[in-house]
Structure 1
């Protein structure tokens, strides 16, 4: 008998490992936070586990990897979904972000981490405000994260007026804060937390700031994270200022490389994609947000070029199953083909594909011997999943985030019975509810189009 810490059994096991199909009656054996075995069930008595989790009515798969997220952005839920992309960012989000306190960002991060974990997301790549506070929560709740401080040198709250003036003092301060975060947290929580330098976007960072940020990332030995070609306004601004596309601009300032995560690429031109392909930079594709904005990135071209690609949630809606379905539906409609993207490929892109984007493919993203034990269990004994035949479509097209009942990170159970084990979800939600009237009033002052309820300061 082989002594192990945890034995996780499955009615259907989805290893997402090259050449390894779905395995009926599978199991995952875990010791020291790593996988000893992920495959067919072994004879009784083969393992001597400290704990066994029953697999009846359960599908087991790698934890979802979210390669571009904003865990604390929840304050804007429902407030930008009916806006054009430019208005959503410039007129609502950017104008309000400056008025959210660090304690409020910390509270929102708690809610965001709980949401991620109970949705089956076990790893995030986050760029936002108050990164130290997010890291505190990540360390406590058991999530795995790469975190970056949001670095820029414009006044984001003035972009809606068309003011793209670069202010070196803003950039220096924010980059200094990002460096201090990286120096404090990179490698923390037994390696669960790592850092990146998070230059916000091509139009909110000057060439000088990007060059300096690249040099600091190299000095620290960490990667970078940036939004690129996400809006028409951004592309127009970069072309007016530099005479090229936004990714060509990043190439020209020397920022692109294999350790760079690029979010969006919605409006990337051929020259932009050439620059990405030549550099080896990776692409975070956020399939849920694009249909809301009415424009879908050229995913088929990006993947055909061999650019490392993975799925992400971006902000507000952290349901990886809905994200995969959005990608499947969008690609099949765009190309007029029911085989444009397969369910197996969609699952790969939200697990090992996203891990590859983050440079973590050797540690997470698939269930293989020697990898870190990051996995989830999905309750397949639910009416909307019956009859459950076990193929990829059964999982990808019909499961929901709420079907996730167990999440395991580094071999530790961090979600059980659908609830985070290390976060007080009820206390966090109660504190969020106390804050809603104030946030609602700020949004109303910015002209939010949402319908407000009784007691709202703007309604009297």
Structure 2
């Protein structure tokens, strides 16, 4: 059993207002838990068996929680950010199918490596063929919430010929979801859990939504869905059902406090009121949604509704520092040139709020009894100096280069700047090979859509 005593650390713990504030002290970790927080050096031999780690030049934070990502869509990095079109159905869906199983695993390892280097300890990852890459992600040591993103519309056809629903197609997703639950829910000493995921309101019929609800309730699992993400979704739901996506989910019993709904781009203020009333959690992905300009969504209504806000990276990056910076910009933009929300609220999005959205009272905070999911930052890193407010520096200027150590369940995944569970050179090389192979197939099979610019040397 691992036993560590982080000596003379600056650490972020909840203040009187519930938001993180900087304290100084000694943090004792035993096994997978924080077992003591001391104001000064321990007396006597109480921690004699603990490895002592000098943390006087480091700051300790709860590990960051990425509430929505698709690790294998890193295969699209540096491409679709600069292409017009329906990115979901013309690029993301085809790419997820064109990857071979071992290639999915290779890209997923890269995503896990980047997440660890960004101070992240938990990923929520819904997509397709998740069982192909779940073992690779588990081996990284991260805490995981995995989901097979289900639909009964033939998603491979939408980008070419529009929507066609097929119950047999939907059954394949239900079968994959059940298999994922049986194989991985509670795996790795409960470090891995499975959620139930509907891909989006436009490609899930009332039958599919009901089947997924039944599965979630039978297994006691939380749920997630993309919501009001793209124009074609909004138009399809309006055409088929005469409703907004939010109204469609409400009328199919999909809105509750176990639901983590992502994006909300085209939600109306009335939709936000409905979502808040039902206690739905919001996963905002401001970085991916702002690649072509600041993410436009009813953020003022969301901020003032009391909805629990979390952050995700979505695709093309696992860097939550990037997401925090852009969240600050987009959310403050709701009030013009504002200082609301503040950095402490935004850090909460990526820690305590995310833990709440996952139904976890043992994550997202530094306190006795909490899981030892921690990120350590170099207080002498240029980006964090000079320092008056560590939280302000982290949210405004933090980047993966300031992260020195990451622990999950008390196990180091990054120690003194070195990954302990992944061979970094091998991970990068295998991900590059997988990406080149996928794009070669894409160019052969996905005619009629613009192709990305590529380096020629």
Both structures adopt the same fold (TM-score exceeding 0.5): yes
- Cα gap change, 1:367 to 1:23, in 2 (>3 Å): same
The equivalent of 1:458 in structure 2 is none
- Could you tell me how far 1:67 is from its partner in structure 2? 0.9
The equivalent of 1:188 in structure 2 is 187
The equivalent of 1:313 in structure 2 is 313
Q: Deviations over 1:203-222 (max 9, x none)?
A: 11111111111011101111
- Could you tell me how far 1:271 is from its partner in structure 2? 3.2
* Structure 1 portions without partners, runs of 5+: 456-460
Among candidates 5, 15, 18, match of residue 3 of structure 2: 5
Contact 1:309 1:353 in 2 (8 A): yes
The equivalent of 1:200 in structure 2 is 199
Q: How does 1:310-459 map to 2 (within 5 A)?
A: 310-360=310-360, 362-445=361-444, 446=446, 447-454=449-456
Take 1:396 and 1:10, find their aligned partners in 2: how far apart are those partners?
Answer: 23
Take 1:39 and 1:191, find their aligned partners in 2: how far apart are those partners?
Answer: 29
The equivalent of 1:304 in structure 2 is 304
Contact 1:286 1:311 in 2 (8 A): yes
Contact 1:328 1:341 in 2 (8 A): yes
Q: How does 1:237-276 map to 2 (within 5 A)?
A: 237-276=236-275
DSSP 3-state at the match of 1:203: helix
**2:226 aligned with 1:224:** no
**2:43 aligned with 1:41:** no
DSSP 3-state at the match of 2:92: helix
DSSP 3-state at the match of 1:6: strand
Take 1:376 and 1:213, find their aligned partners in 2: how far apart are those partners?
Answer: 35
Take 2:224 and 2:258, find their aligned partners in 1: how far apart are those partners?
Answer: 9
Structure 1 stretch 330-339 or stretch 231-240: which is displaced more? 330-339
- Could you tell me how far 1:188 is from its partner in structure 2? 1.2
Q: Deviations over 1:12-37 (max 9, x none)?
A: 21124554763353332112311122
Take 2:8 and 2:123, find their aligned partners in 1: how far apart are those partners?
Answer: 25
The equivalent of 2:120 in structure 1 is 121
Contact 2:124 2:145 in 1 (8 A): yes
RMSD: 2.1
- Could you tell me how far 1:94 is from its partner in structure 2? 2.0
- Could you tell me how far 1:443 is from its partner in structure 2? 4.3
Contact 2:70 2:126 in 1 (8 A): yes
The equivalent of 1:172 in structure 2 is 171
- Cα gap change, 1:4 to 1:38, in 2 (>3 Å): farther
Contact 1:60 1:376 in 2 (8 A): yes
Contact 1:12 1:22 in 2 (8 A): no
- Cα gap change, 1:408 to 1:96, in 2 (>3 Å): closer
Contact 1:125 1:146 in 2 (8 A): yes
Take 1:217 and 1:19, find their aligned partners in 2: how far apart are those partners?
Answer: 35
Q: Deviations over 1:150-183 (max 9, x none)?
A: 2111222221235111111110111111011112
The equivalent of 1:65 in structure 2 is 65
Take 1:18 and 1:258, find their aligned partners in 2: how far apart are those partners?
Answer: 26
Q: Deviations over 1:171-200 (max 9, x none)?
A: 011111101111221111111111111111
Structure 1 stretch 429-438 or stretch 191-200: which is displaced more? 429-438
Take 1:125 and 1:434, find their aligned partners in 2: how far apart are those partners?
Answer: 25
Take 2:186 and 2:277, find their aligned partners in 1: how far apart are those partners?
Answer: 30
Take 1:163 and 1:137, find their aligned partners in 2: how far apart are those partners?
Answer: 34
- Cα gap change, 1:34 to 1:449, in 2 (>3 Å): same
DSSP 3-state at the match of 2:89: helix
Q: Deviations over 1:368-410 (max 9, x none)?
A: 1111111110112122322223442122212212211100111
DSSP 3-state at the match of 2:201: coil
Q: TM-score, normalised by structure 2?
A: 0.93
Aligned length: 451
Take 2:159 and 2:40, find their aligned partners in 1: how far apart are those partners?
Answer: 58
- Could you tell me how far 1:432 is from its partner in structure 2? 2.2
Contact 1:13 1:39 in 2 (8 A): no
Take 1:96 and 1:139, find their aligned partners in 2: how far apart are those partners?
Answer: 22
Structure 1 stretch 158-167 or stretch 17-26: which is displaced more? 17-26
The equivalent of 1:76 in structure 2 is 76
